[in-house]
Structure formats: structure tokens, C-alpha cells
Amino acid sequence: MTGKKPIVMSGIRPTGYLHLGNYFGAIRNYVRMQDEFECFFMVADLHSLTTHPDTKELKSNVQRVLAENIACGLDTEKAALYCQSHVFETSELYLYLNMLAYKGELEKTATFKEKVRLQPDNSNAGLLTYPVLQAADIILHRASLVPVGKDQEQHLEMARNFVNRFNHRYGNVFPEPVAFNYNDQLIKVPSLDGAGKMSKSENQMSTLYLADSNDLIRKKVMKAKTDTGPTTPNANKPNYIENIFLLMKLVSQQEVINKFEQDYNNCTIRYGDMKKQLAEDMVEFISPIREKVEGILSNEAYLKQVMETGAEKARKSAKATMEVVRKSMGLKYF
């Protein structure tokens, strides 16, 4: 692969509206990476079936994720933006990798345990082998860089294990994929209630979605947990206050952040004012994206063309990889 640009791959499940965590953990990096690398970004519709078997809203969710990615700056001329289910080679590679993944390690995965807890009546095998399908998605394009949030670190480690087992057994076919973020550290965008991370399906009043109206954004931010303020200068911040500062760092001007840091350290901070400022900065950040999304969603012909172009690029790369895979696995008999 010398002389070629590193290959990038990542995906987002169409399980609901995208939120600030998806933006800062994933899409912001996509937009920057598309200028520097060969990029494949996918709507992970097959992955969504592990937790959302009802497909009534799948089509509109897929269209929304595509539109939200594009509205955030993803350029379909530069990157391949496609749907996972349009690339059949994914399923073939998933099958081969399943033979190299062990039940014990899959059962130990944190996201598996968490999902089984959330849906005890549907702990299906797809949920168990989620990291295998994810590894297949990545290495199908022989990607080495995977822009994801902190919650995906363990899956990436598993992908590297599968790659190493494959390469060891069948020859050096795949590079080891690593999680990527421009700022060294992977990001976790915290939930507004101070507990856990923003997420598509949980704690919706504590998650800021790219589709939220200005009023809803204000309402959610104003409800964020605070207290009566510090009583000693330069005190450590409790988690939920640290989170508000963290959110501010994502969208507010440096002088604004400095002012509230100073107020905090002097014990003069007024959290009501801080949240008002944060709410307005969030509105300014989110509302242009929301308006763009609405425009894109109203043009179904354009979205169809986006999907076709993306699938074509992704299939081309997938076919080339699978030729090598079948050959190296000894599955070519003539």
C-alpha cells in the first residue's frame, strides 16, 4: 500500500436522530479526514437490526443519517458515503471472521453486556457478534484509521485481534485498524444530566440532537444539573459542572469560557447565566445544521443518487479485497 493515502472507515447506526456526541465524536473528524485520506463512511443499517428489529422507520432513519452527515459537511464527491446493506461482500467477510472470533471474548464485551441488560428478551447472536461485523466493515476496505468516540475503543481492540488472527493464519492481508481522533484523546460528549454520555436512544431530554428546535435546545440546556456554586476559591469541579464546561468548550468562544472559569474560581459564578450563554451558543451551532438537513431531506432523488454513488465506490473496494481474501484463505479452487 506504499505511496497510497491511508484508508479511513467509520459508520453510524440509523437508530434515531444524530446528536452532539455523534457530531464531535465522529462526524467532525470525518469532515476533516475527507480532505486528507481515502474515506469510506457508512450508514450501519445492518448493525441497527441487532437492537431495532422493527424496520418500519428504517428507510426514513437511513435518509436522515445521510442528510445529517452531508449537512455537517461530508462531501460525497470526496468520500464514499454508503449504506452497509448495499455492499453484500460485508456479509461474506463477517462469516469468515466469525470463525476467528471466540465465544468467550465476545461475551466479555462491555457493549454486549450493556445491551443484554437493556434488552433481556432479545439477546440475539447478532448482538454477540456485533464487534465481528464491525471489524468486517472496517477491513473490507483495508482501512487503518477509524474515527470513533471513546465508547468504541474496545471494539477496535477486538478488530485488531481478528485481523492478527486472520493475518497469522492466512497471510498478511489486512492492516491493523486504530481508533482515530485529531486531538489525540477520543471524545466522550457527556449527557446534560451529568450521568453517562449523550446517546441516540437513551435519556432524550439530556441529549442535544442536531434536529432539536431552538426552544427545545434552550429548554434542555437550562435543565442541566447544577448546584449553588463553589464556596472555596479554585475548588475542584463536580462531574456535572465539569460536563457543562466541557460542552461549552465544544461550541463557545474562548473568552466566554475564560470568563466562566474565572467566575468559578472566584466563587462568583452564576450557573443560570452560564447555561443561558451555553444555550445560545448551542442554538447558533445546531440551527444551521438543522435547516440544511431539512432541505436535503426534501430532495429524495438526490438522496437516491448519493446512495447509488456511494454503494458503487464501496463495492469496488470491497470486491477487490474479497478477491484477495478468498485467494489467501484457499477458497479459490480453479
Site residues (vs ligand ADP, CB under 6 A) = 12-13, 15, 21-22, 25-26, 148-149, 151-152, 187-189, 197-200
Of the candidates 56, 197, 219, 276, the residue annotated as catalytic is 197
Residue closer to ligand ADP (CB basis): 51 or 167: 51
Query: Among residues 40 and 166, whose Cβ is nearest to ligand ADP?
Result: 40
Within 10 A of 309 (CB to CB), how many other CB atoms are there?
Answer: 15
Q: Which of 115, 220, 275, 313 is catalytic?
A: 115
Q: Is 319 a catalytic residue?
A: no
- CB of 22 or CB of 226, closer to ligand ADP: 22
Residue 200 annotated to the active site = yes
Residue showing the smallest CB distance to ligand ADP in the complex: 25
Q: How far is the CB of 232 from ligand ADP (least distance, A)?
A: 31
Q: 150, 200, 304, 313: which one is catalytic?
A: 200
- State which residue, 201 or 298, has the beta carbon closest to ligand ADP: 201
Crossing angle of helices 89-98 and 130-139, rounded to 10°: 120
Closer of 159 and 325 to ligand ADP (Cβ): 159
| 8 A C-beta contact, residue 230 and residue 268 | no
Instruction: Report the Cα 243 to chain-centroid distance in Å.
Output: 20
Nearest approach in angstroms of CB 58 to ligand ADP is: 14
**Cα→Cα distances 97→9, 67, 193, 332, Å:** 18, 32, 39, 18
Question: Which three cell numbers mark 169?
Answer: 493464519
Please give the angle made by the CA atoms of 288, 197 and 187, to the nearest 5 degrees.
75
Query: CB of 154: closest distance to ligand ADP in angstroms?
Result: 11
Q: Is 115 a catalytic residue?
A: yes
Q: How far is the CB of 213 from ligand ADP (least distance, A)?
A: 20
What is the smallest separation between the CB atom of 198 and ligand ADP, expressed in angstroms? 4
Q: So which residues are the catalytic ones?
A: 115, 197, 200
